[in-house]
Amino acid sequence: MNLPLEPYVLHWSSGKDAAMALQTLLVQGFPPPVCLITTYQQSTQRVSIHGTRLDLVTQQAQRLGVPLRAVELPDLPNNQAYQNQMDVHYHALAQEGIKSVVFGDIFLEELKAFRESQLKPHGLDAVFPLWKQNTATLAQNIGPGGIRAKINCIMRNRLPEICLGLDLEDALPHFPADADPCGENGEFHSFVYDMPAFSSPIAMDLGQKVEREYPAPNAHSEPVRMQFIDLLPISASRENP
């Protein structure tokens, strides 16, 4: 694992991988990041892909005591739209003296190469603290290690509905044998509501379930069915049932 040059920022998806990457660095004695970067869709005010409400991500940043840099994206942005928007922010970060950007990616070689190529023109170093680690070991250590993550999105083609809304440690026994414990094949996404670096846990209610279908990624696969459960901040759960 290459270590970040300081000061650094952390790409924050709101889920377990970003939290594990942060905890790995903090345990090694690194200071907290200068800021967290998250992307969200303007029309929904939710984190891209995960579907987490932006105000819950704001609560995560507050409990970490780290500023949140929220990057607004159009609905269903293509790779070029995403890259154009992120280039603006990476340029600004480099101008502010940032040296490294930390990611929670574990296995996806193409994504790693994409991130490195996007940061290189800005003189920023891409750092992957979890790269190539055993996902079964990572998943099994989430609860005992103090990270509490709730599954808020599942691929219905890959995981049973009972997993939705459970803490990861409680959902793992329901995973099929061919499912990756950290969701590296897109099986699920999660929301971290507590970790050792938080000042306090985040309280929330479970809201409605919504299922959406997306086009098949290639001619040899079937359409992707994703099911989400709305995580409601306690203050909002009474207003938005």
Assess whether 117 and 151 both reside in one domain: no
Is residue 202 assigned to a domain? yes
Residues 6+ apart with CB under 8 A from 228: 51, 152, 153, 164, 209, 210, 211, 212
* pLDDT digit string, tens, across residues 68-116: 999 998 876 677 888 889 999 999 999 999 999 999 999 999 999 999 9
Assess whether 165 and 192 both reside in one domain: yes
- Give this prediction's pTM: 0.92
Q: Do 225 and 215 form a contact (C-beta atoms < 8 A)?
A: no
The values of phi and psi at residue 74, to 5°, are -70, 165
* pLDDT digit string, tens, across residues 20-71: 999 999 999 999 999 999 999 888 999 978 889 999 999 999 999 999 999 9
Instruction: Supply the pLDDT for residue 204.
Output: 94
Assess whether 105 and 153 both reside in one domain: no
Pairwise CA distance, residues 16 & 192, whole Å: 6
Pairwise CA distance, residues 148 & 200, whole Å: 12
Q: Which domain holds residue 185?
A: 146-236
The dihedral region occupied by 233, where left means phi > 0, alpha psi between -120 and 50, and beta the remainder, is: beta
Assess whether pLDDT exceeds 70 at residue 209.
yes
Pairwise CA distance, residues 31 & 12, whole Å: 16
Assess whether 165 and 202 both reside in one domain: yes
Total count of domains within the chain: 2
- Residues 5-27: what's their mean pLDDT? 96
